[in-house]
Every structure is written in structure tokens, then in C-alpha cells.
């Protein structure tokens, strides 16, 4: 009996165990099914996001790092303009609780460049306004410490120019709405704001090292010679790339102020000048091309002025004798150049001028481009004076592009501020014969070794070029006390790579220039100082064992017997 009872209890206990196990198994299966369903839903949603909605999976994350406006860098990747989140300081006048006079004085102590009166006017205004559009963190901390609840510190997109005023006329700046106002900021505005492109910086042709060297030497010359302004450009003769472009005085695009508005004029691309004797090589090249000059040894009468009606053309430094073409360039003879232009005729001169683009605004991406001043009446006298750079006004960029064609084999190409990949240069157009270009390289080199451009010579760099000193127009005539002094050059002349233009507006002269204001004493030395600084950066190494072969032309230069 006892044994039967024990067996019965074991059977009951075993049955309960099975029921508990079955119940636990059921719960586990339900839980697994729930997890499986959740997992299936998640996978389905991920698939629908990735495939059905065709949305890039990284878009939401990557957009955080894309600037509101694209960066601008130089040809080597050095940042020139970029957008970042910066602090601003803003006041809501009606919420200001403290004494406004006291607050204005406190703000003036933090920001010494703004008066307390200016701050007080904003604090007493009728609507919210900025106390500072751009403030440094330590300045924000100081203002915050004042404890005024009416002052806010919003974070806003700010366009910064880390190199400050370097290449300011190339870059330009943006307005309060973030749109480009001038320079490449304006020219590239749509590209820099394009959401699909602004993540990649735009590379300019400018080399910031070369730009800094050019600006530095121009500034030294402008200051020492007390000139009103200065301008310069370095241009790749084969691609048309602008390696440096400087216009002085400069402005800081980080701080646009009323007193520096006049400095925003781009003297290289916007202002037009009569560039004087720098035109003479162009006239000689046109005559060689046309065949009106076939023998460089032929001499022209330069012993007395040319008289045409009531006009007289004379030389500033008369040699008092007949001169051949090399001598005319070396001594910068207006008389001989005018005679050659007279033989060439209006059609030949005008054809050359138009082929070089002197009848239209300069070719470059900038909106700031000046329109040349074309002669109203192109008669015989005008034809003669244009030959030596009077009677027509163009920009220094016009001249740079023309000299590039003069020395590169005769091909004119538009200038560009965009970095050009090898093999993607603009096709250009032929404006001079290759043989004429080769001859002009010899003549330009002789001007520097034996003529008015001696002070531009830098050992080993084989510089060739031409001086130009032009009186500025005034009251229907010319002001003899106001000169535009220009030196147009290329280097190295045995295999030209770059053109360089240096110009000074109304230099006064000093002891270093022997108190002379002409280009040979003022502008040429700038080139001599710039080229050795920038040459190695541009891949031009000085070599005093190489030079242009001018042996066939040297005998044509008359030299007094010692």
C-alpha cells in the first residue's frame, strides 16, 4: 500500500514538471517570434530606406561637414577664403536692463576701434542690431561677463580670408547675405554656393608665395618713391595662368570700411593707362610681320623731330643721328618708331592692335574689367603716336597678354585665374609669326643688356623687356609732372616662361632712383628684385652660363670709341 502511494505521487510530480516545461517552452517560442518580427521590421525599413527611397546613406551625416560656401585655395592648396561658424554679438535694446551709458563705455573698452557713442546709438535704437558681426571667443567671453540679458551671442556663417589682404583684388569679398561682391567671389558665386559642389574647394592659378613677393616689392617701391599707386602681374606665357596679380594700395576683405572703398579699384584689370614706350616692341613686331621692315640694319633719320602739321614728335633722349631698329629700341626712339608706323600704315597698325584685343575689355574671369580708350579719329599723327603708346589707353593686363604672345612663339591666349591642368590650355590664336617672336626675344634681351632696361637685369635669369614712361592726360593735353612708369618683361628669354609687368602711378623719385621718375629708374628695378625671389618658386633656376644668342645683332649697335 505504501509502495503504491509513493508511485502515485511520483507520477503526479512528473506530470507537473512536463506541464511547467511545456509552458516555458511556449513562452520562449512566443518571445523568439516577437524578436524575429521586430528584427524583420527593422531589416525591412533599412532596405526600404536604402533601395526603395534611393537615398544616399551618408547624406545626413556628410552634410554637417559641407560649408555653406565653398573654399577658395591657391594652386598649391593654400586656403585663401573659407566659411566657418563664428560668433556675433547682437543687442535687443528693449531687453537691456542696465544703464546704457555705462554699458556703452564697457563695450568701447572691449572694442577700442569703436567709440562709446557709436555703441550707445545702437543700444538706444528701436530694433535689434549687431554690436559686432564678427567677434573672437575671448571678446565674447568679456561681453558675456557683463551680465546683460539684452545682449545675444548667435553663431553665424562667416567668410574669412586667412591671408588677410593678400590677393585682395583677386579674391574680392562677400556681402552680409553671403553673395560675392567683387573679384573671384563674385565670378564664382554660383559655383561656391552650389550644394553639390561646394564641398570641394576651387583652386585658383595664383601662387600665394609669388603673390606675396610681388606685393612686397611693389609696396616697397610705391612707399619709397611716394607713388600714388602700383600694379603688377606675373603671367604664364603658355597657359595664360595668372601666377600673381597685385594692385596697390590694398584693402582687407575681412574688414570692409568706407575709408578703403577707393582701394578696391583693380589697377591691373580695371584702370586704363597710356602705357608709353612698352608699345614700341609691338609696333616693330607688326612691321616685321607685314614686311615693311625686312632689314634691321636699315637706318632711319632720328637726328631731328618729325613735324606733321602743327604736331611735332621728338625723342626724350635724342641720339642726334640715324638709328637702326635695334638702336631705336635700345635707346627708345619715338621718332624711329613713328616712322616705322607711318610706313606700316593705319591698316597694319590697327590690325595688330585689334588682334591683341586692345579694342575690347581684357579677357579674364573678373567682372572688374576696364574698357580701353580708343582714338576718336585715327589719322596719320594718331597712327604714329599709338606706335609708342600715346593716343590709346589699355589695362596692364592687356599689355601682359600681348607680351606673352610676343615671346611665346606668337600665340595670344586669354588670361585666366583658374588653375589649368597640363594639356588643357586655351587654344588661342596666332597674332605674330614664330620667326618674328624669336627675333623680338633677341631685341627685348638687348634692351635690358644694353639699353634703357639695364636696371631690370638679374644675373642668371635672362630678363628681357621694355620701359615705358608716359605723361598722364590732363585738361586736353598732357601733364609733364605726372608719369605712369611701366616695365614690361619676360624671363628667361632663351625659353620664355613668364611675363611680368610692374607699374608705378606718379612716382616722385628719390636718391636711389637718382631723382628720376622714368621707368628705367623706378619700375625696372622692381622687376630685378621680384624675379630672383619668384623664379625658383616657378621652376626657373638662375644660370649665368646660358643666354639669348644676339651675336648677329650686337654689331648693329653703335658704340663710341673709347
pLDDT at 258: 82
pLDDT at 223: 96
Listed in sequence order, the DSSP H helices in 124-201 are: 137-144, 168-171, 183-187, 189-193
From the list 137, 135, 126, the residue with the least C-alpha distance to 96 is: 126
- Across the range 139-154, mean pLDDT stands at 91
CA 121 to chain centre: 39
Residue-wise DSSP of 413-460: ---BSB---TT-----EE-S-HHHHHHHHHHHHHHHHHSTTGGG--TT
Is the pLDDT reported for residue 48 higher than 80? Answer: no
pLDDT at 4: 46
- Which of 205, 239, 277, 513 is the catalytic position? 277
The string of pLDDT tens digits covering residues 67-110 is 889 999 999 999 999 998 888 899 999 999 989 999 999 999 99
From the list 479, 412, 489, 402, the residue with the least C-alpha distance to 454 is: 489
Is the pLDDT reported for residue 121 higher than 70? Answer: yes
The string of pLDDT tens digits covering residues 326-359 is 999 999 999 999 999 999 999 999 999 999 999 9
pLDDT at 383: 96
Looking up cell 608665395, which residue turns up? Answer: 209
- The torsion of the CA quartet 509, 510, 513, 517, rounded to 10 degrees, works out to 10
Mean pLDDT of the chain, nearest integer: 90
Res. 17 pLDDT band, cuts 50 70 90: low
- pTM here is 0.83
3-state secondary structure of 479: strand
Res. 302 pLDDT band, cuts 50 70 90: very high
Strand segments, DSSP code E, in 300-355 are 300-301, 306-308, 311-313, 322-323
Q: Which three cell numbers stand for residue 453?
A: 632696361
Is the pLDDT reported for residue 561 higher than 70? Answer: no
**Poorest-pLDDT segment among 212-216, 412-416, 513-517:** 513-517
Is-catalytic flag, 303? no
Amino acid at each position: 500500500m505504501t509502495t503504491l502511494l509513493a508511485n502515485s505521487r511520483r507520477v503526479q510530480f512528473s506530470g507537473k514538471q512536463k506541464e511547467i516545461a511545456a509552458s516555458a517552452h511556449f513562452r520562449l517560442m512566443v518571445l523568439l517570434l516577437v524578436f524575429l518580427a521586430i528584427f524583420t521590421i527593422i531589416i525591412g525599413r533599412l532596405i526600404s530606406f536604402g533601395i526603395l527611397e534611393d537615398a544616399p546613406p551618408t547624406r545626413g551625416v556628410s552634410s554637417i561637414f559641407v560649408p555653406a560656401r565653398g573654399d577658395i585655395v591657391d594652386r598649391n592648396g593654400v586656403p585663401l577664403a573659407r566659411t566657418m561658424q563664428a560668433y556675433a554679438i547682437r543687442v535687443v535694446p528693449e531687453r537691456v536692463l542696465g544703464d546704457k551709458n555705462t554699458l556703452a563705455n564697457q563695450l568701447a573698452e572691449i572694442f577700442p576701434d569703436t567709440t562709446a557713442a557709436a555703441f550707445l546709438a545702437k543700444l538706444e535704437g528701436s530694433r535689434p542690431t549687431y554690436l559686432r558681426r564678427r567677434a573672437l571667443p575671448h571678446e565674447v567671453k568679456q561681453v558675456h561677463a557683463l551680465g546683460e540679458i539684452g545682449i545675444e551671442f548667435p553663431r553665424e556663417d562667416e567668410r574669412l580670408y586667412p591671408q588677410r589682404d593678400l590677393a585682395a583684388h583677386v579674391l574680392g569679398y562677400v556681402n552680409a547675405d553671403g553673395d560675392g561682391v567683387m573679384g573671384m567671389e563674385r565670378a564664382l558665386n554660383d559655383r561656391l554656393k552650389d550644394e553639390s559642389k561646394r564641398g570641394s574647394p576651387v583652386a585658383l592659378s595664383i601662387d600665394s608665395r609669388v603673390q606675396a613677393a610681388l606685393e612686397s616689392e611693389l609696396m616697397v617701391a610705391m612707399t619709397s618713391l611716394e607713388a600714388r599707386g602700383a600694379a603688377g602681374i606675373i603671367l604664364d606665357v603658355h597657359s595664360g595662368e595668372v601666377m600673381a596679380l597685385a594692385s596697390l594700395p590694398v584693402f582687407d576683405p575681412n574688414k570692409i570700411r568706407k575709408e578703403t572703398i577707393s582701394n578696391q579699384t583693380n589697377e591691373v584689370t580695371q584702370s586704363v593707362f597710356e602705357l608709353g614706350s612698352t608699345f614700341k616692341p609691338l609696333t616693330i613686331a607688326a612691321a616685321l610681320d607685314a614686311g615693311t621692315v625686312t632689314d634691321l640694319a636699315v637706318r632711319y633719320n632720328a637726328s631731328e623731330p618729325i613735324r606733321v602739321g602743327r604736331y611735332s614728335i621728338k625723342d626724350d633722349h635724342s641720339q642726334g643721328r640715324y638709328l637702326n631698329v635695334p638702336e631705336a629700341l635700345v635707346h627708345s626712339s619715338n621718332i624711329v618708331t613713328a616712322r616705322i608706323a607711318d610706313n606700316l600704315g593705319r591698316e597694319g597698325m590697327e590690325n595688330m592692335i585689334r588682334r591683341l584685343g586692345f579694342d575690347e575689355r581684357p579677357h579674364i574671369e573678373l567682372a572688374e574689367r576696364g574698357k580701353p580708350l580708343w582714338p576718336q579719329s585715327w589719322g596719320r599723327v594718331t597712327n604714329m603716336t599709338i606706335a609708342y603708346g600715346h593716343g590709346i589707353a589699355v589695362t596692364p593686363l592687356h599689355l601682359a597678354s600681348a607680351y606673352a604672345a610676343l615671346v611665346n612663339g606668337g600665340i595670344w591666349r586669354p588670361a585666366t585665374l583658374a588653375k589649368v591642368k597640363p594639356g588643357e590650355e586655351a587654344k588661342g590664336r596666332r597674332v605674330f609669326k614664330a620667326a618674328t617672336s624669336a627675333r623680338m626675344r633677341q631685341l627685348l634681351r638687348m634692351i635690358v643688356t644694353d639699353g634703357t632696361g639695364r636696371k631690370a637685369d638679374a644675373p642668371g635669369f635672362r630678363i628681357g623687356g621694355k620701359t615705358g614712361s608716359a605723361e598722364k592726360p590732363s585738361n586736353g593735353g598732357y601733364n609733364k609732372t605726372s608719369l605712369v612708369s611701366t616695365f614690361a618683361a619676360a624671363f628667361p628669354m632663351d625659353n620664355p616662361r613668364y611675363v611680368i609687368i610692374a607699374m608705378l602711378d606718379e612716382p616722385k623719385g628719390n636718391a636711389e632712383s637718382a631723382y628720376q621718375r622714368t621707368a628705367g629708374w623706378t619700375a625696372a628695378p622692381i622687376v630685378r628684385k621680384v624675379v630672383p625671389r619668384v623664379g625658383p618658386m616657378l621652376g626657373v633656376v638662375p644660370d649665368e652660363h646660358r643666354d639669348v644668342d644676339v651675336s648677329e645683332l650686337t654689331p648693329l649697335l653703335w658704340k663710341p670709341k673709347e
